[in-house]
Each structure stands twice: as C-alpha cells, then as structure tokens.
Amino acid sequence: MLRHLTGLVLLLCCSAAQARPATAQDPVLAPDTMLIADTIPQEFPSPRGAFLRAVVVPGWGHFHTGEYTRGAVYASLQSTSWFMLVKTIGRLNDVKDRDARLTRLAVDSLAVAMAADSLLAEQLENPQAYENALLSYPGLRNARGLVSARKQQRQDWITYTLFFTFAAGVDAYVTAHLKDFPADIIAEPGLDGRLNLGVQFPVGRRR
C-alpha cells in the first residue's frame, strides 16, 4: 500500500513539472528581433499638424516638433501682435464713444442756435456747411481725428497678426517636414514684411 502511494506521488510531481507554463521562464529575444527593433524608423510630427497647431496656439507647432527656442520666439511675436490688436480695438471703441457723445452735443447745440437764428438755419441747409459747423464744437474735430488714427492702427495690427501667424505656421510646417534633414532650415520674418528662408549645414565634428 505504501509503495502504491509513493508511486502515485511521484507520478503527480512529474505531471506538474511537465505542465508548467512556458510563461514562467524568462523571455529571450532572438538576435534577429533585436536587430529589427534597432532599425525601426523614428516617427516625426506631421507637417500639417504642426502647421495647424502653430496657427491655432502661438508656439504650439514648434513645441510639438521639439523646436522650443523657435517656438518661444514665434509665441512672443504672435502673442504681442494679438495683445496690441485687442488693445487697439479697445482704444478705438473708447474714441468712438467719445465722438458719438460729442456729436450729439454738437447737434443739440446747433439745433438750438438754428431755432433762434433763421439766417443761420438757412445757411446750414448746405450739408458741407452743417458739417463744418459741427466740427467747430470743442473737442469734436480732435475726436474724429483720433477715430481715424485708431482705425489705421487697427488695420496695421491686423496685418501684423496675420503675417506672424502665417509665418509661424509655414515655419512649423517646414520644420516638421524636414525634421530628419541633416541641415537646419531657417525661416524668420523680416522687418520689411518678407519671410527670410535659409539653410544651415553643420560643419566639422561635434564635441
């Protein structure tokens, strides 16, 4: 009886050893597998995605491609242009409100004067004469001049903002498209409103 029990225990131990899962062993990679892993091409950011990011958020496209210095430069340019555009629009609205308030006062003042003087009323039937009489009201001519100047400033900052935004998008697109190129692509906005492009090749050994 004892001999039968001993034989049964040995049989169960051998079966358990044979049924041991292969996952319990340490995985070993074949040399060919390691060579293939080393030769997998590196994935670079999408040029279209970099362009859209640079247009939507200042500096995002360059940060996405790993160009942090260029991203900081374009982020500063875009943010400054947007800030000045919003600030100019706010100043324009303030001057427009002032102009509208002075215009109402000038119209009321002329209405009283025309009601008291029929000869003046006859003279001011001419639209040009009426406009000149309005501008003679204190502060109104200055307000009209400020409105014109603020409109011109708004137009200038709209142009600058569009230019810097487009330049950042193009630069981010080129940077992402040529990420694996051995040379550095330089695309910087010039003071004359042009986009300066250049190529910089590394020369000599890296230290």
Q: Per-residue pLDDT tens for 116-149?
A: 999 989 999 999 999 999 999 999 999 999 999 9
Question: What is the number of alpha carbons within 13 Å of residue 32 lying toward its C-beta?
Answer: 0
Give me the DSSP letters along 39-52. Answer: TPPPP---HHHHHH
The tokens describing 96, both together, are 């427009």
> Which comes out higher in pLDDT, residue 131 or 192?
131
Position 20 in a domain: no
Position 152 in a domain: yes
Position 149 in a domain: yes
Position 71 in a domain: yes
Position 11 in a domain: no
Position 156 in a domain: yes
Cα 59 from Cα 137, distance rounded (Å): 49
The residues, ordered by sequence, that sit 6+ positions from 86 with a Cβ below 8 Å of its Cβ are: none
Q: pTM (2 decimals)? A: 0.62
Position 130 in a domain: yes
Q: What is the pLDDT of residue 23?
A: 46
The H-or-E segment that residue 187 falls in is: strand 184-189
Number of folded domains that form the chain: 1
Distances (CA, A) of 178 to 20, 42, 161: 52, 13, 26
Position 178 in a domain: yes
- Give the structural domain span for 102: 46-200
For the chain, the first-to-last Cα distance in angstroms comes to 81
